[in-house]
Structure 1
Amino acid sequence: MQPMDPHGEQLRRLQALTDSDLARLDVDELLEAVLERVRDLLHVDTGAVLLLEPSGAFLVARAALGLEEETRQGVRIPFGRGFAGRVAQERKAVTIAEVDHGNVLNPILREKGIRSLLGVPLCIGEDVIGVVHVGTLEPRIFTAEDAELLQLAADRIALATRARMTHAELTAASVLQRSLLPGLLPEIPGLELAARYVPGGGGDVGGDWYDVFDLPSGRLCVVVGDVVGRGLNASVAMSRLRSAMRAYALVSDDPSEMLRRLDEQTRHFEPDVMATVLCAVVEPTLDVARVSSAGHPPPIRAVPGHPGELVEMPADPPIGLTRSRRRHTTMVDLPAGGGLVLYTDGLVERRHESLDTGLQRLMSAVVPGPAELVCSTVMGRMIGNHQAVDDVALLVVMRSAAAVTGGSLTLVEPAEPRSLRVIRHAVRTYVEALGATPAETADLVLAVGEACANAVEHAYGPGGGTVEVQLERDGPRLTVTVTDTGSWRDPRGTNRGRGTTLMYALMDDIRVDRGLGGTQVVLTTTLGRREDTA
């Protein structure tokens, strides 16, 4: 019978543990379980695992056995200093036969009465990701076999930890990225919005994003951006840039000024972050957008009856790259039935293919139509059945086509001040499609706005309600009916009630019907009357 090999048996026990028993544990559970087994195998009193921070400057206690204060107090050891810092720097096993103030930086080790220490690095290839060390309360000379066993444990800890942390970071990055993308795009009368986000096939989530939000001025802000880098760090940086853009949009609705402020913030607070961003602000009239680019690919302009065209505009430096003396804004006309297509470079960039080729293919894919159809067509032509190599963010903004020649329009909105903007947009789009002149359009929008404002202000109490607007055309004659279900309150104060006077001045006729079920204001006007009498 061959003699027993105690050391080989220890290695086999450790290998069996790390291969099977720990397969279902997360990072912290894995580290604690391995430390327990290492303690039993090496007959030590304490053990600890410290992982290197992303900055590479500090080792942070992640798991401890007999030294629980290390993790509870968030112990941080500078790289290259103290016992653990020395192990990480030298990338080899280090032993201390007798602990003292000169060779151990962490006071917890001394307070616990640790007399001897053995530490080895956690390495993945050439990268050090941390340190594992064990200690005894009695003086001990650790042998080469002890160091070999601990290094074996460390190698398996490193592989398992990196795999679990990578998976956790990917999950966190994906959840963060998708949580920050708009769940529901705003409903803007006269506009159609559609968007897509597809992660790349490399496994890591990137920093691509899109955002759409309305501003207090009545304008609409649309943003597409791409943070350089991959993984959780890129997603976190993306979330901060997205939030900053929303904040700066409340300060200025000039897209170049928003990007200037974003660039200044990034260079000051996050000098390691770089991103490309495209920002467009659509005017309340919907016929013009102001666009500014920070190193981002220009949008594609969709024009009815024509192929998509690349918007010619200056490409200012990316965010975080260098100080830009001036950022530019380009005015882009948005015809009825047309719009803008914003995207990140993952949509057009291909290996072994020039960027111009990708842009040409994208322009040919942009055909004006409903926003969802445009989105689907672009993704079908540009991505098809292939896995995107890089992340893709796509945002389509399309104006409704001016094709109304008759029929009616009915709106039902909450009786709240924010609804007035929605109603005014819808009325403007409807009457413009009927061929109303700019003066007729302005009169109608103002008169209907006053009637709806009265309903919002006077018809309901704290419980709220709705306001309904119906527009009907009979030849040149247009009738607008504004209905609420609240109770009418007479104007209060000497300067109130002027909205009704204004409506009488703007319309051919006004009728106000008040009843127990609410109030109905009927406005009528004749389109083209001014030209006929000129």
Structure 2
Amino acid sequence: SVAAITDDLDRLAVAELVPELCGRLVRALAVAGAAVVVLGEDGRVALSAEHGAGADSALLEAAMAAGGTPDGLPAGHGARALRVEDRVLGALAVTDDGEADPGQDAVLGHVAERVELVVERAALHDRERLIAATLQRDLLPDALPEVAGVGISAYFASGSQGTSIGGDWYDALALPGGRLGIVVGDVAGRGVAAAARMGELRSVARAYAIEGHSPAALARRMNAYHVAMGTDTMTTLLFAVVEPDLGRLRFVSAGHVPPLLAPGNGVAPHFLDAAGPPLGVLEVCRFEERTVAFGPEAALLAYTDGLVERRGEVLDVGLARLRDAVAALGPADPAAMRDAVLAACADGTSSDDVTAVVLRARPHLGRVASFVLTPEPDTLLSLRRLLRRWLAEAGADARESLELTMAANEAMQNAIEHGNAFADAPITVALRQSGDQVEIEVRDLGHDDERRPDPDRGRGVALMRALTDEAEVALGGPAGGVVRLRRRLARPSGLPA
């Protein structure tokens, strides 16, 4: 019967539907073979399949050319085009060793009418899934930022079944003051609509993070924006900021699964709890910002529920599996931790998106380190702390560290005031060690204000030269300025790369 051939076909993607249809045609019509071909949007053959003895490909071509049943079919053969309105989707054909059943052509026609709708719907679902997956992946970071003192690795895989592309996303940003921010979010829903909302929220979260909002303030603004979107869906979100200058991590959770902290130093991994409702649930709500120690070798795993949820299993089992995998691994670089977690928790059968981001505090900033400075006072304070840490790792004694920090601070303040004229523009601070010599470079973007004050009106340049072995100073101007400070250390330790 027709129903035996077409029932439940609409649950399959086109690639699965075509071979399944061939087998059903052979079994239901008791014929020797069947063949089906489906055209792509460009009119070329996208998929084809045969079952049994198959059917002459010329019959398929003839059916598509006729837009229906071709004339002059040989005995024992049947063929019919698949079409919606004036567009030919493909064709199906059957062949038998004996005489054809007189009613076979009518049955084939009924089958074709049902299959046309199924193929069209399956193609639409495939296109929607492709659009959603492409949108989702295009909105993920092309590359992860490099931040001195912090390692990062990430993983993302879209839902594996049907059109179940979800709204997972992650982002990572190098923030002023040598800090690293990460966002992990999950928009409720599936398909293009969820992916589009995810893209919008991801852009807004990135903008708020770049503006320098604290985790709690970012969550409040994200909630207000979500409410203003007017959707009846909700979103969970985790925003965390690593501060290598203070050896700590600040984070906020809006209904998100708890991040896993591995403190190192023999302390067992444990989940971090922060109360806060998902975005969009309440118009006005309070989000709790938490701060935890994040010293050298500490690691944080942020993820979405697709990593820990399995059908027929309570969430606590998945969380325990995740914690045990990290505990068994011990100290490891971010990529190794990511791979171990995925091997233990992601079994490849989830219909939900799977996202994981791993952060690890490194014991050293490295021989070469680069930071961004902005006019906000706290970023200048952060960079002074990072500079002192870097100099200590390079082997500078207390006096060398004090004098170089004073010289660098003068260069950074000059860049803010005179180079960029207090504009909200980035200043690059680069640190380099070569043998026993350290170099500090401060580079501004400049400005076009003809009334800019004299950058050397005080004793800043003289101070920089007095505190270093060598000071190259090219101040101000529309093309920007650069200061390079160099000094040889009495007892350099030699930083790792």
Length-normalised TM-score, structure 1:
0.58
Q: Equivalent residue for 1:391?
A: 353
1:295 aligns with 2:255: yes
Find out whether 1:182 has 2:141 as its counterpart.
yes
Task: From 320, 339, 347, give the equivalent of 1:376.
Answer: 339
Contact in 1 for aligned 2:396/2:490 (Cα 8 Å): no
**1:323–1:363 CA distance, 2 compared to 1 (3 A):** same
> Which residue of the partner structure matches residue 365 of structure 1?
325
Matches within 5 A, 1:346-361: 346-361=306-321
RCO greater where, 1 or 2, for CA within 8 Å and sep 6 or more? 2
Check if 1:24 corresponds to 2:39.
yes
Residue 208 of structure 1 contacts residue 393 of structure 1 at CA under 8 Å; is this kept in 2? yes
1:523 lines up with 2:487 in the alignment: yes
Would you say the 8 A contact 1:307–1:364 is kept in 2?
Answer: no
Indicate conservation of the 8 Å contact 1:338/1:401, yes or no: no
More moved, 203-212 vs 168-177: 203-212
2: CA distance, partners of 1:387 / 1:21: 29
Contact 1:266 1:273 in 2 (8 A): no
| 1:170 aligns to 2:139 (yes or no) | no
Q: Deviations over 1:99-142 (max 9, x none)?
A: xxxxxxxxxxxxxxxxxxxxxxxxxxxxxxxxxxxxxxxxxxxx
CA 298–526 in structure 1, closer or farther in 2 if over 3 Å, else same:
farther
Equivalent residue letter for 2:192: L
- Could you report, residue by residue, the CA deviation over 1:449-493 in whole angstroms, capped at 9, with x for unpaired residues? 6568989999xxxxxxx997533676xxxx423589xxxxxx983
Among candidates 294, 302, 309, match of residue 334 of structure 1: 294
Point out where structure 2 has 5 or more consecutive residues left out of the alignment.
1-33, 46-62, 69-83, 87-107, 420-427, 443-451, 474-481, 493-497
Aligned residue in 1 for 2:173: 213
Distance 1:187 1:353, change over 3 A: same
Instruction: Single out whichever of 183-192 and 276-285 deviates more from structure 2.
Output: 276-285
Q: Which residue of 2 aligns with 1:139?
A: none
Aligned to 1:268: 228
Aligned twin of 1:140: none
Partner of 1:282: 242
Determine the structure 1 residue equivalent to 2:78: none
1:500 aligns with 2:461: yes
Aligned-residue offset at 1:362: 1.8
RMSD: 4.8
The aligned residue for residue 120 of structure 1 is none
Q: CA–CA distance in 2 between the matches of 1:195 and 1:449?
A: 35
- Report the Cα distance in structure 2 between the residues aligned to 1:334 and 1:27, rounded to whole angstroms: 55
* Cα drift, residue 179 of structure 1: 0.7
1:29 to 1:241, Cα distance in 2 relative to 1, 3 A: farther
**What does 1:215-234 align with in structure 2 at a 5 Å threshold?**
215-216=175-176, 219-234=179-194
Q: Deviations over 1:183-242 (max 9, x none)?
A: 100111111111011223323221111101133565432110111122222211111111
Instruction: Report the equivalent of 1:481.
Output: 439
Shift in alpha-carbon separation, 1:165–1:249, aligned structure 2, 3 A: same
Residue 310 of structure 1: aligned partner:
270
Shift of 1:274: 1.2
Is the counterpart of residue 239 in structure 1 residue 203 in structure 2?
A: no
The letter for the 2-side match of 1:26 is E
> Match of 2:454, as an amino acid?
G
Quote how far apart the aligned CAs of 1:165 are.
0.5
Change (3 A) 1:410 1:327: closer
In 1, Cα distance between equivalents of 2:317 and 2:401: 44
Q: Secondary structure at the match of 1:229?
A: coil
Matching residue's letter, 1:167: D
Q: Which runs of 5+ in 1 are unaligned?
A: 1-18, 39-62, 66-148, 459-465, 485-490, 529-534
Q: In structure 2, the residue corresponding to 1:325 is in which secondary structure?
A: coil
Q: Match for residue 146 of structure 1?
A: none
Q: How far does residue 248 in structure 1 lie from its aligned partner after superposition?
A: 2.4
Q: What is the identity percentage for the equivalent residue pairs of Structure 1 and Structure 2?
A: 33
Number of residue-to-residue matches in the alignment: 380
Q: Is the 8 A contact 1:259 1:294 kept in 2?
A: yes
Distance 1:271 1:319 in 2: 11
Say if 1:199 and 1:388, in contact at 8 Å, map to a contact too. Answer: no
Q: Distance in 2 between matches of 1:222 and 1:182?
A: 11
